[in-house]
Amino acid sequence: MAVEVFKDIADYLVAAEVEKREVVKVTNTMKPDLTVEEAYQVQELIVQRKVDEGHRIIGPKMGLTSKAKWDQMGVSEPIYGYVFDYMLVNDGGVLPFSDLIHPKVEAEIAFLIGEDIEGPGITGAQVLAKTQYVLPALEIIDSRYENFNFTLADVVADNASTSRVVFGNALRKPSEFELELIGATLSINGQIKELGAGAAVLGHPANAIAVLANMLARKGEKIKKGDIILSGALTSAVMLSIGDFVSGKFDGLGEVTFSVGE
């Protein structure tokens, strides 16, 4: 029975993404008692549907990785979603605004995983040992919900607001850096809007990947070799508008840019 409801919710959210329109959150009237565990089941249905349609998973992404967001949402654990090939925008490329609903951008460090990582009990140090490269990224989040207004279960069901990603092209060995002290600035049209350092992500970006490995282990899943994982935002999210030129600069990792077209 429950499965039917989950399918309906998945339909509802996929339609919102495809039709580029915002919808009322699921917990409003559709299923007010949706649990986080159930929300991940909805997310799985959405992910499976995209895979069946021929899309390829690039890797998981982490969300709600800062203490500030935890306090704001009243939670004590990050969330994850999945990035697909159709979501990638080239570094220096154009993001058509009309493809999205109300996009925001964040600066993140991405991990290219060199060996499978299977929880439970994984720590940040183990993640670093199994990371082949790190690279800079700009994540464009686009909640399918009105005004980004959602509960934890809502956002999990909505594939953690995942929408578009711009990866930088420079791959660096994680051992070259103290990732928690890498500074990043996020600028729009040459003006710095937000900034932060790696420690904004659970004290160290690798900690977020470790949490992911341990969360996936609860379902008997693991992080796979070749996954490119967004570890969580170093900065707050900034609203995007048509005509914006967006630049994320990362100490030692370089710059990632894109423009927002019509």
Given a contact cutoff of 8 angstroms between Cβ atoms, the answer to whether 5 and 41 are in contact is no
User: Which residue, 135 or 234, has its beta carbon nearer to other proteins?
Assistant: 234
The contacts of residue 39 (CB under 8 Å, 6+ apart) are: 152, 153, 154, 156, 157
Which of 7, 21, 56, 67: binder of other proteins (CB under 8 A)?
67
Q: Which of 250, 256, 258, 260 binds other proteins (CB under 8 A)?
A: 250
CB of 173 to other proteins, least distance (A): 16
Ranges within 201-230 binding other proteins (CB under 8 A): 203
Buried b (16+ CB within 10 A) or exposed e, 238-261: bebeeebebbbbbeebeebbbebe
199 binds other proteins (CB under 8 A): yes
User: Least distance from C-beta 220 to other proteins, angstroms?
Assistant: 32
201: amino acid identity, one letter: V
Give the residue among 228, 230, 221, 258 at the shortest CA–CA distance from 242: 258
Options 37-45, 72-80, 214-222, 250-258: segment touching other proteins (CB under 8 A)? 250-258
Sign of CA dihedral 217, 220, 224, 229: negative
Q: How far is 227 from 212, CA to CA, in rounded Å? A: 12
x-marked contacts with other proteins along 164-183 as a string, rule CB under 8 A: --------------x-xxxx
Contact at 8 Å (CB) between 184 and 70?
no
Closest approach of other proteins to the CB of residue 235, in Å: 9
Nearer to other proteins, 91 or 142 (CB): 91
Under the criterion CB under 8 A, does residue 57 sit at the interface with other proteins? no
Which is closer to other proteins, CB of 159 or CB of 235? 235
Binder among 129, 170, 197, 217 for other proteins (CB under 8 A): 197
Tokens of 150: 């959602």
Size of the site for other proteins (CB under 8 A): 21
Nearer to other proteins, 29 or 191 (CB): 191
Is the CB of 184 or the CB of 230 nearer to other proteins? 184
**Measured between alpha carbons, how far is 110 from 112 in angstroms, rounded to an integer?**
7
Rounded CA gap, 22 and 6, in Å?
19
Query: What residue ranges bind other proteins (CB under 8 A)?
Result: 67, 178, 180-185, 192, 195-200, 203, 234, 249-252
